[in-house]
A and B are shown apart, each in its own frame.
Chain A
Amino acid sequence: MRFGVLVFPGSNCDHDCYHVLKHTFGRSVDFVWHKENSLKGYDAVIIPGGFSYGDYLRTGAIAKFSPIMKAVEQFAGEGGYVLGICNGFQILLEAGLLPGAMLRNRTLKFICKEVFIRVENNHTPFTNRCKPHQILRLPVAHADGNYYAEPSTCQILESHRQIIFRYCDSQGRTTEEANPNGSVLSIAGICNERGNVLGMMPHPERGAETLLGNTDGRLIFESLLSSLEVETR
């Protein structure tokens, strides 16, 4: 089982994702430079957080033109697992692999803090180790995490159960106060219709070690690992 962590100029969380996969979970993992054009040999691909191309113009808007993104499209088309975290989510939106767009946070400020999210669908390759409606505590760190999609798109997302995480309070209530950035329907993460591409704003790689005071993010990686294990069996 082999993981690829994409590296764009400006990726910042590439080392963090690599560290978790390699040292917390003991898996094989490579950095994949954005000028590569193949993802052959990988079982899952992580698009990490950061400021690809400085987030100049618009988050993820330039990264989508990198050669590797054609390979990601193909990889996803063949059913490969793609996890986009934060800037990775923004890139997936810009690349059209997920529907919708990101706006500036409602506060117009960068927000870094721990939030609660509720697992809305635990029948995905990324959440199968979560309990139904399980509440996870995970950090967010972004200036553009205010997810928006048109009502018709939201309806489709809802009916296909593509909304995977919603911001909530510690009791699981999706209140306005618990929504850190103003995302429509409190959306914190969505997947594609087929379920093999997930984008999420919170950082599971920052919540995978006891020393850091947070282990809820492990569930995302454990889910992905178990999905891959089932497949390879």
Chain B
Amino acid sequence: MKENSITLKEVLQHGLTQDEYERLKNLLGREPNRLELGMFSVMWSEHCSYKSSKVHLRKFPTEGECVIQGPGENAGVVDIGDGLVAVFKMESHNHPSFIEPYQGAATGVGGILRDIFTMGARPVALLNSLRFGPLSISKNRYLFEGVVAGIAGYGNCVGVPTVGGEIYFHEIYNSNPIVNVFCLGIARKDQITKGVARGVGNAVIYIGSKTGRDGIHGATMASESFGAESESRRPAVQVGDPYTEKLLLEACLEMMKLHLIEGIQDMGAAGLTSSSVEMAGRAGTGIELDLNSIPLREEGMDPYEIMLSESQERMLLVSKPGQEDQIMKICRKWDLEGVIVGRVTDDRLFRIKLHGKEVASVPVRLLTEEAPVYERPFAIPGYLDAIQALNLDLIPEPKDYNQVLLELLSSPTLANKEWVYQQYDHMVRTNTVLLPGSDAAVTRIKESQKALALTVDGNSLYSLLNPYQGGAIAVCEAARNLVCSGARPLALTDCLNFANPEKPDVMWQFALTVEGIADACRHLRIPVVSGNVSFYNETSDIGIYPTPVIGMVGLIQDTNRVTSSWFKNEGDLIVLIGEFKEELGGSEYLRVIQGREGGFPPSLNLAQETAVQTSCLKAMEAGIIKAAHDCSEGGMAVALAEACIASPYEKIQGAKIELNTDFTRKDALLFGESQSRIIVSIRPDRLSGLQRITYSLQVPTTVIGQVGGERLTIALKGQKVIDIPIQDLKQVWRGAIRDQMNGKAHV
């Protein structure tokens, strides 16, 4: 039976433009059938093809001495010595999480876990970076509650600890929450497995859950903006089954240990289609699939549905010759379905058969390499001058700085995230050396003396005000967080969340962000090894602020050098490494206290940043530093308060701070978010040792106070401006999110 011709309407419904369809027909040399059209539409979607971002992403430095695998595989791989590698990546699940928060977030975790264990690594830690609208709106509380529960429900069940993350609350995310999940795995170097369909004649094996009608066109959905009707798209959201994921994880790792697998890939976005063609594309081979052998959840599914389903917890692997029986045996052990569904071929075609008849045949290259690439136009946004203008003379200084500090600590973005991380099993696998709440999470490597530090970072307000600066600061701050925990940064992954790339404003934000990230990476010598772009974070024409998120991993040579952010002992000196500055642009203080969003984000000198980080690391290696905390959102005053109260243990420390620097505005000195600054505490007799190191790198250091007592007091030139019992600080900081979620107003 011959199908009717494909109409323009169908093409557009598939998210392809008319031009793209013409290109498709020219490349194929004929009109595609509906199944083929479906496959092109997902493979050429923004989500799978990176068609708007590709030309920019090439600017990232991706090489370094530790890099074993850069972008292009399921995840990046870096060498950490002792025959071990760290494998990591970050991904977004923004669109599905808005439509169905629990499952959207849960399947995001599932997908990133599979990206890691397909590489032959055991996942050892998860992080997440979340953005929601303010909790005063009930819809946002519902989304926040659902996303956190979804991440918990999935990660906890699989038994991979969620060890940290970051959360911001801002109106701009009301209809576009951001859910980025990061996973780190560890593998033996000789067990790295890749997503390649190598070896003509090798069996292609399907393992895991059956294929159902869920998630069809999920990748296409993630490549479009939302309108008012977006919630009707629930069927495009998948449903997660973490238990099956756990079985898949254990079974795959067992197969990899025995070297049974030639290549493997998760059936994530675009399901069977993308896993097949991407594996064949990387290996320069073809794949032939027999649809009659695909395990189906329901009867009557047609080839289109089978090839585009995004049912979760499924893997496609290519067996080494003669290892099929061994693979099946391991599947049976773990109660998993394992079926041979095809073969690797040498014709570089993706061919699909049903009842012995070919129902699709497309050159692999057309679906992968030949996807369109756009140099989308960009232009400086008209809004820029207005938001960058900030006249501080018109902003009165507050009278009661105690009240300001308490208010900042109880604003959800700055408040303690215990309500969140207590729902995550953050200790399973007994590697979590630093409990959540410090600058970075630290997970030890049982096979060695080493540990890995990991963090996620990104400030979208900075990025709005100056996208280049926002991208660069995200990299620097992530690195600084790692340094504060005692780690030398190794490499990073990124998740670039933006609005509609077809708008020149947005494309300008994107292009500059990438440049900022790339420059900071080059200066700090931190390569990009994997990443993800999420465009079309836009609902009813309102797009998000540019939201680049950096995930970074660092190495700590000796677990004895792990450093936490909170003050330890009475009498220790508190020292600021870095400069005093007065920059209020883009600060949380301006936003929360003064109701102003604007100005320039803090300045950044990459050479100074490098020097500050290097000196801090050197001092740690010399055993001088007892606590180190990055000055970031909320500025120095908030950083000091956190260093007093962030300890997860019962005993907390007060501090007496005396600042004698010249200043023009108290609020700018206390709450400005100037970069390249680390607050450390040291034993008094180690001061000269610290200064020797910092002077040699020309980094200013200033003793600003002493640890001890039951209060945090800050005096400026002898005048006390802040004086609060630390128990009060702790109470508002810890209770803020819980109270808002329980419907109680905050301070």
Counting CB contacts under 8 A, is A174 at the interface?
no
Residues 198-219 of A at the B interface (beta carbon under 8 Å):
203, 205-206, 208-209, 211-213
Min distance, Cβ B482 to any Cβ of chain A, angstroms: 19
With A109-B149, A213-B435 in contact, is A56–B243 under 8 Å at CB?
yes
Instruction: Indicate whether A184 reaches chain B with its CB closer than 8 angstroms.
Output: no
B242: nearest chain-A partner, CB-CB: A54
Given the complex, which residues of A lie within 8 Å of B247, measured CB to CB? 9-10
Taking a contact as CB atoms under 8 Å apart, the answer to whether B157 and A211 are in contact is no
CB under 8 Å from chain B, chain A span 105-151: 109-114, 139, 141, 143
- Pick from B430, B435, B650: contact of A170, CB under 8 Å: B650
Q: CA A113 – CA B152 in complex, angstroms? A: 14
Contact with A along B424-466 (1 / 0, CB 8 A): 1111111011010000000010100000000000000000000
Among the listed stretches A12-20, A94-102, A152-160, A223-231, which one makes contact with chain B, having 4 or more residues with CB under 8 Å of it? A12-20
Q: Which residues of A contact B432 (CB under 8 A)?
A: 212
Bound-complex Cα distance A9 to B250 (A): 9
Q: Residue among B152, B246, B648, B649 with the most chain A CB within 10 A? A: B246
Task: Please measure, in the bound complex, the distance between the C-alpha atom of A23 and the C-alpha atom of B433, giving whole angstroms.
Answer: 17
Chain B residues positioned under 8 Å from A11 (CB to CB)? 159
Min CB distance A31 to B, Å, is 11
Of chain B, the residue at the smallest CB distance from A11 is: B159
Minimum Cβ distance to chain A for residue B739 (Å)? 15
Contacts of B740 in A (CB 8 A): none
Q: B446 touching A19 by the CB < 8 A rule?
A: yes
Q: Which residues of B contact A15 (CB under 8 A)?
A: 429
Q: Verify if B241 is at the interface (C-beta below 8 Å from A).
A: yes
Determine which of B241, B426, B433, B649 lies in contact with A54 in the assembled complex, contact meaning CB atoms within 8 Å.
Answer: B241
Inter-subunit contact A51/B444 (CB<8 Å): no
CB distance from B710 to the nearest CB of A (A): 18
Question: Would B246 and A13 count as touching, CB distance under 8 A?
Answer: no
Whole-angstrom distance between the Cβ of A110 and the nearest chain B Cβ: 5
B430–A9 CB distance below 8 A: no
Complex-state Cα separation, A15 to B432, whole angstroms:
14
Residues of A within 8 A of B149 (CB): 109
Determine whether B385 belongs to the interface, using a CB cutoff of 8 Å to chain A.
no
A141 touches B425 (CB 8 A): yes
A182 interfacial by beta-carbon distance below 8 Å: no
B423 within 8 A of A: yes
Task: Confirm or deny: A55 has a beta carbon within 8 angstroms of a beta carbon on chain B.
Answer: yes
B335 part of interface (Cβ distance < 8 Å) = yes
Q: Taking CB as reference atom, which chain B residue is nearest A141? A: B425
Closest to A208 in B: B430
Q: A57 to B520: give the CA distance in the assembly, Å.
A: 50
The reply to whether A206 and B427 form a contact with Cβ atoms under 8 Å apart is yes
B676 an interface residue at 8 Å Cβ cutoff? no
Interface centre among B250, B428, B559, by most chain A C-beta atoms within 10 angstroms, is B428
Task: Closest A residue to B145 by CB, please name it.
Answer: A109
B402 interface residue (CB < 8 Å to A): no
Task: Tell me if B378 counts as interface (CB < 8 A to partner A).
Answer: no
Q: Are B430's CB and A112's CB within 8 A? A: no
Interface residues on A, range: 35 or more
In the complex, which residues 218-267 of chain B have their Cβ closer than 8 Å to any Cβ of chain A? 241-244, 246-247, 250
Chain A, Cβ-Cβ closest to B559: A211
Which residues from A are CB-within-8-Å of B246? 9-10, 12, 51, 54
Which residues of chain B come closer than 8 Å to A54, judged between CB atoms? 157, 241-244, 246
Chain A nearest Cβ from B243, distance in angstroms: 3
Q: What is the size, in residues, of chain B's interface with A at 8 Å between Cβ atoms?
A: 35
Q: Collect the chain B residues with CB atoms within 8 Å of residue A143's CB.
A: 156
Contacts known (A10-B157, A51-B246, A56-B243); A212 close to B433, Cβ less than 8 A: yes
Q: Are B423 and A139 in contact (CB under 8 A)?
A: no
State the main secondary structure of chain A at its contact with B.
mixed
When distances are taken between beta carbons in the complex, the residues of chain B under 8 Å from A139 are 427
Any A CB within 8 A of the CB of B17:
no
User: Is the CB–CB distance between B422 and A112 below 8 Å?
Assistant: yes
> Would you give the shortest CB distance from A10 to chain B, in whole angstroms?
6
Q: Is the CB of A209 within 8 A of B430?
A: yes
**Would B152 and A110 count as touching, CB distance under 8 A?**
yes
Which chain B residues in 393-430 approach chain A with CB under 8 Å? 421-430
Q: Is B168 an interface residue (CB 8 A)?
A: no
Question: What residue of chain A has the Cβ atom nearest to residue B430's Cβ?
Answer: A16
Complex contacts, A55 vs chain B, CB 8 Å:
157, 243
State the CA gap A112–B428 with chains docked (Å): 10
Q: Are A112 and B427 in contact (CB under 8 A)?
A: yes
Min CB distance B711 to A, Å, is 22
Q: Does B334 contact A (CB under 8 A)?
A: yes
Question: In the bound complex, what is the Cα–Cα distance between A209 and B444 (angstroms)?
Answer: 12
A211 to B650, CA, bound (A): 18
Bound complex: CA of A205 vs CA of B427, how far in Å? 11
Chain B residues with CB under 8 Å of A20's CB are 430
Contact B423 A111 (CB under 8 A): yes
- How far apart are the CA atoms of A10 and B157 in the complex, in Å? 7
Q: Max chain A CB contacts within 10 Å: which of B153, B244, B429, B430?
A: B430
- Contact B427 A211, beta carbon cutoff 8 Å: no
State which of A112, A208, A213 has its C-beta within 8 Å of the C-beta of B425.
A112
Q: Is the CB of B242 within 8 A of A112?
A: no
Distance between A141 CB and nearest chain B CB, rounded to angstroms: 5
Q: Kindly list chain A residues whose C-beta atoms are within 8 Å of the C-beta of B156.
A: 51, 110, 112, 141, 143
Q: Does A53 contact B (CB under 8 A)?
A: yes
In the complex, chain A residues whose CB is within 8 Å of the CB of B334: 9
Report whether B157 and A141 are in contact in the complex, using a CB–CB cutoff of 8 Å.
no
Contacts of B424 in A (CB 8 A): 110, 112
Q: In the bound complex, what is the Cα–Cα distance between A49 and B425 (angstroms)?
A: 12
Q: How far is the CB of B646 from chain A (nearest CB, A)?
A: 14
Bound: A16/B649 CA distance, A: 23
- Give A84 Cβ to nearest chain B Cβ, in Å: 17
Which A residue sits closest to B433, measured CB to CB?
Answer: A211
B648 to chain A, nearest CB (A): 8
Chain A contacts with B in 176-213, Cβ cutoff 8 A: 203, 205-206, 208-209, 211-213
Residues of B within 8 A of A10 (CB): 157, 243, 246-247
Task: Give the docked Cα–Cα distance between A110 and B426 (Å).
Answer: 11
Q: Name the B residues within 8 Å of A13 (CB-CB).
A: 159, 428
Q: Which of B421, B429, B444 has the most CB of A within 10 A?
A: B429
Residue of A whose beta carbon sits closest to that of B335: A9
CB-nearest residue of chain B relative to A15? B429
Distance (Å) between the CB of A180 and the closest chain B CB? 9
**Inside 8 A of B241's CB, which chain A residues have their CB?**
54
The proximity string for B residues 303-344 relative to A, scoring 1 for CB distances below 8 Å and 0 otherwise, is: 000000000000000000000000000000011000000000
> How far in angstroms is the closest Cβ of chain A from B430?
5
Q: Is A88 an interface residue (CB 8 A)?
A: no
Tell me the complex Cα distance, A208–B430, Å: 9
A4 in the interface (beta carbon within 8 A) = no
Most buried by A among B157, B247, B432, B650: B157
* A50 interfacial contact with B, CB 8 Å: yes
Establish whether residues A141 and B242, one from each chain, have CB atoms under 8 Å apart when the complex forms.
Answer: no
Nearest-CB residue, chain A, relative to B428 = A12
Residues on the B chain within 8 Å of A16, using CB: 428-430
Q: Is the CB of A12 within 8 A of B243?
A: no
Give CA–CA (A227, B34) in the complex, Å.
71
Closest to A54 in B: B243
Please tell me if the beta carbons of A53 and B243 are within 8 angstroms of each other in the complex.
yes
- Whether B429 contacts A141 by the Cβ 8 Å rule is no
Q: Which residues of A contact B158 (CB under 8 A)?
A: 12
Q: Give Cα A203–Cα B427 distance, bound, in whole angstroms.
A: 10
* B428 / chain A contacts, CB cutoff of 8 Å: 12-13, 16, 49, 141
Q: Give 8 closest A-B pairs by Cβ, nearest first.
A: A54-B243, A12-B159, A51-B157, A16-B430, A141-B425, A112-B425, A110-B423, A113-B422
19 sampled A-B residue pairs with Cβ under 8 A: A9-B250, A9-B334, A12-B158, A12-B429, A51-B156, A51-B157, A51-B159, A51-B242, A54-B241, A54-B246, A56-B243, A109-B423, A110-B152, A112-B421, A112-B424, A112-B425, A208-B430, A211-B433, A213-B433
Contacts A9-B335, A170-B650 known; list 14 others, CB within 8 Å.
Answer: A9-B246, A10-B247, A51-B242, A53-B243, A54-B244, A109-B422, A109-B423, A110-B152, A111-B423, A112-B422, A112-B426, A206-B430, A212-B432, A213-B435
